[in-house]
Chain A
Amino acid sequence: AQTVTQSQPEMSVQEAETVTLSCTYDTSESDYYLFWYKQPPSRQMILVIRQEAYKQQNATENRFSVNFQKAAKSFSLKISDSQLGDAAMYFCAYFSQGGSEKLVFGKGTKLTVNP
């Protein structure tokens, strides 16, 4: 069964600095999708960034980028120029069409942004 591991329960970063959140996964599939979701306190869960496994180029969305290492099964999220609004729980998730067709979530990383 696929598993997703986020080894950092909590992280903190100074405003305007850069932080990297770690995520590793386990799968025997070759074709899959990886996601980072953001859940601000008492607010709706939203998608931050998505990576298709067949794409070698790392996905980027404004200040958010990923480091996708397929062989190492690693999918870290880098947040540049951190802002107070980035404070949230961040969940890494995995999806495979050939697998259970359900999102498999990590346990989350709580990010605190210090002014």
Chain B
Amino acid sequence: EADIYQTPRYLVIGTGKKITLECSQTMGHDKMYWYQQDPGMELHLIHYSYGVNSTEKGDLSSESTVSRIRTEHFPLTLESARPSHTSQYLCASSGTVPNNEQFFGPGTRLTVL
């Protein structure tokens, strides 16, 4: 079954640690996105990719980085986590016209102590 996966679902980590949030999709989508969302609040686009070796920063400035070496995989990395990074991170992917629908993963809830 085609889907989009995120791991871990929950992560509690200390300040200064390096973390990588994983996102994979099995739908063959070229476009992938990372959003940051505080609970019950709006979504902020922090990174997106339109294909392999293509990454762009989103509308909200973020200290995280992303890579897109394979179509199905779009990991997000924080080199040195801080309490201000505490949030939920949602990964999404989409195909092309005519649908343009974005499919979302279950999210990773990150807490930095």
Q: Residues of A at under 8 Å CB distance from B? A: 33, 35, 37, 43-47, 50, 52, 89, 91, 95, 97, 101-103, 105-108, 110
Contact = CB atoms under 8 A, between A and B. Distances in A.
B32 to A, nearest CB: 12
Interface residues of B, number: 23
Contacts of A33: 100
Contacts of B99: 50
A105 B58 CA distance: 13
Interface string B42-56: 110100101000000
26 contacts: A33-B100, A35-B101, A44-B105, A44-B107, A45-B90, A45-B92, A45-B104, A46-B104, A47-B103, A50-B101, A52-B98, A91-B42, A91-B43, A102-B33, A102-B48, A102-B58, A103-B33, A103-B45, A103-B102, A105-B42, A105-B43, A106-B42, A107-B42, A108-B40, A108-B41, A108-B42
B106 interface: yes
Interface in B75-112: 90, 92, 97-107
Chain A: interface secondary structure? strand
Nearest to B3: A44
Nearest to A9: B40
A89 B40 contact: yes
Given A91-B43, A95-B100, A107-B42, 14 more contacts: A43-B106, A45-B90, A46-B104, A47-B101, A52-B98, A97-B97, A101-B50, A102-B33, A102-B45, A102-B48, A103-B45, A105-B42, A108-B40, A108-B42
